[in-house]
Amino acid sequence: MAGLPRALAPLRSRDYRLLASSMGLSLFAQGLWTVALVWQVVDLGGGPGALSLATSLQAAGMLASTLVGGALADRVPQRRILLGVALLQTAAVGSVALLSLAGALALGPLAAASLAGGVATGLYYPAYSALVPGVVPPGELLAANGLEGVVRPALAMAAGPAVGGLLVALLSPGAALLATALTSAAAAACVAALPTLPVRREGEHPGLLTDVREGVAYMVGTPWLLATLLFASLMVLLIMGPFEVLVPFAVRDRAGGGPAEHAWVLAAFGIGGALGSAVVASLRLPRRYLTVMNLLWGAGCVPLVVFGATSQLWVMIAAAGLLGAAFEAGTVIWGTLLQRRVPPALLGRVSSLDFFVSLAFMPLSMALAGPVSQSLGLTGTFLLAGLVPPVLAVVAVLAWRLPADELAHPLDEPEVAEPVAAPA
C-alpha cells in the first residue's frame, strides 16, 4: 500500500479531477452502450450479421475521424473538442433511446447512432491524450496512467456493462440507452467546468493535411512506434471481431446465458484489467518495457481459445479476466511510453495515429466475425484469435530489435523527446 499515495497524487489537481471525472463518465457510458447495443439488436430480431453491421460502422466512424482529431488536438484547445464530443454522444444515443422506448426504433437509426458514436470516440482519444500532460506534472504521468488503467476497465468493462445488463434484464434495452445518454450529458458538464488551456505548440500552424503528414513521418521514422503499432493493428484484426461480436453468442449458445451473463464476462474483463493496471502502476516499469508490453498483449490473447472450447460460464469469465489483466497492464506501459518519448507538439497526432493504426482493421474484423464463424465455427475462429497474436508479438520484438531500443531509452531516467522527422 506504500505506493497508493503516489498513485493518487494526480487527483490533487482540481483540473485533473474534472478531466478524470469526465473520462470516467464517458467510460461508464461506453460500457452501458456495449451491452445496450447488443441486446437492442437482438430485441429487433437481429443476429451476428446485424450486430457486425452496427459495430463495424462504429469502428469505421472512429477510423474516419481520428487522424483529423489528432491534427485538431495539436492546434485547437482540447477542452472544446471534448465538450463537442460529449454533446454529440448525448444527442445521438438520446435519440435512439427515445425511439426505443416508444417502440419505433429500427436497425437503421441504431446503426447511425453507432456511426456517430464512433466519430465522437475518434475525436475524443487524441484530444484527451494531449490534454493530460497539460494538467499533470511529468513526474505524475505514470501515476495518472495507472489510475486511468484501473478506472478504464472497471467502468467501461465492469460497472457499465453490469448496470447495462441489469437495466436490459429488468426494464428494456431502451432504458439502458437512455442511461447512456444521461451519463454522456454528465460528462459534458464536467468538461464544461474545465478551463481552456492553450495548445502546447509554437509557431505557425500549417494545414491539417501537412499536420497529419508530419505525424505519419514521425511514426514511420521511429522503429519502436512503428513496430508496436503494426503488431497492434494485426492483433485487432484477429481478436476484436471475435470478442465484440461472437462472445455474446458463445455465452448464449454454449453456456445458455443471456444479457446478465454476457455482462458478467465483460465485468470480468474489466476487473482483470483494473487489477493488471494496479499491479503495473504500483511497481517500477520493467527495464525491458517494450518487450514486456508486446508480449503481454500477445500472450494475453491466448485465453480467447476458451470461448470456443467450453460450455462453462465460469471458465469464460475467468478467461475474460486474464485477457483484461494482460491487455490493460500493457496499455499502462504504452501510455507512459508515448508521453515520455513523443514531443509534446506531436502528441495529439501520434495519439491519433496510435488509435488509427491500432484500429485500422477493426471494421474489417467486425464485418468478418460473422462470416468467418459460419465457415470455421466458433471453435476454429477463437483458436485463430487466441494463438496467432503471440507469434506476431515475438516477430515484432525481434524483427525491430526492440530489446536494444529499450536499453538505449530507459523510462526510469529523464528522457529527452525524440527529434521530429521531416514531413514525408
Q: For the segment 340-358, what is each residue's pLDDT rounded down to a tens digit?
A: 888 877 888 888 888 777 6
User: Residue 231: is its pLDDT beyond 80?
Assistant: yes
- Would you state the pLDDT for residue 4? 45
Q: Concatenated DSSP letters for 239-296?
A: HHHIIIIIHHHHHHHTT---HHHHHHHHHHHHHHHHHHHHHHHHSPPPTTHHHHHHHH
For residue 45, what are the contacts with CB-CB under 8 A and spacing of at least 6? none
pLDDT value of residue 62: 84
pLDDT over 90 (residue 403): yes
Widest Cα–Cα separation across the chain: 61
pLDDT of amino acid 94: 93
Task: Give dist(CA 24, CA 78) in Å, integer.
Answer: 17
Torsion-angle region of 245 (φ positive above 0: left; ψ -120 to 50: alpha; else: beta): alpha
Give the pLDDT confidence score for residue 10 in this predicted structure. Answer: 62
Residue 419 burial (10 A CB sphere; 0-12, 13-18, 19+): exposed
CA distance 179 to 34: 12
Higher pLDDT, 173 or 270: 173
Average pLDDT over residues 54-63: 83
What's the confidence (pLDDT) of residue 422?
Answer: 40
> Cα(399)–Cα(228) distance, rounded to whole angstroms?
11
- As given in the structure block, the three cell numbers for residue 237 are 484484426
CB count within 10 Å of CB 301 equals 24
pLDDT confidence bin for 398, thresholds 50/70/90: very high
* Position 13 pLDDT exceeds 80: no
Q: Which of 19-28, 147-156, 239-248, 311-320 has the lowest mean pLDDT?
A: 147-156
Cell (9 digits) for 88 = 454529440
What are the chain's domains? Answer: 13-195+204-408 (1.20.1250.20)
What is residue 183's DSSP assignment? H
pLDDT band at 419 (very low <50, low <70, confident <90, very high): very low
For residue 233, what is its C-alpha cell? Answer: 493493428
Q: Mean pLDDT across the stretch 238-264?
A: 88
Q: Phi first, then psi: what are they for 419, rounded to 5°?
A: -60, 150
User: What burial letters (b/e) apply to 166-202, b meaning 16+ CB within 10 Å?
Assistant: bbbeeebbbbbbbbbbbbbbbbbebbeebeeeebbbe
Tell me the mean pLDDT in the region 6-24.
75
How many CB atoms sit inside 10 A of residue 256's CB?
10
Residue 205 has pLDDT above 60, yes or no: no
pTM: 0.74
* pLDDT tens-place string over residues 73-107: 888 888 889 999 999 999 999 999 999 998 888 88
Q: Residue 240: pLDDT above 80?
A: yes
Tell which residue, 10, 131, 161, has the closest CA to residue 69.
Answer: 131
| Amino acid 202: pLDDT | 53
Q: What percent of the chain has pLDDT over 70?
A: 90
End-to-end, the C-alpha distance of the chain in Å comes to 48
Average the pLDDT over 258-269 and give the result.
84
Buried-exposed string 384-418: b where 16+ CB fall within 10 A, e elsewhere = bbbebbbebbbbbbeebebeeebeebebeeeeeeb
pLDDT at 415: 42
Cα 250 from Cα 262, distance rounded (Å): 9
pLDDT band at 262 (very low <50, low <70, confident <90, very high): confident
- ∠ CA(244), CA(117), CA(174), 5° rounding? 75
Q: Give the residue with greater pLDDT, 207 vs 174.
A: 174
| CA dist., res. 127 & res. 137, Å (int) | 18
50 against 238, higher pLDDT: 238
More confident residue, 4 or 255: 255
Min mean pLDDT across 145-149, 200-204, 227-231 is at 200-204
Cβ density class 117-150: b for 16+ within 10 Å, e for less: bbbbbbbbbbbbbbbbbbbbeeebbbbbbbbbbb
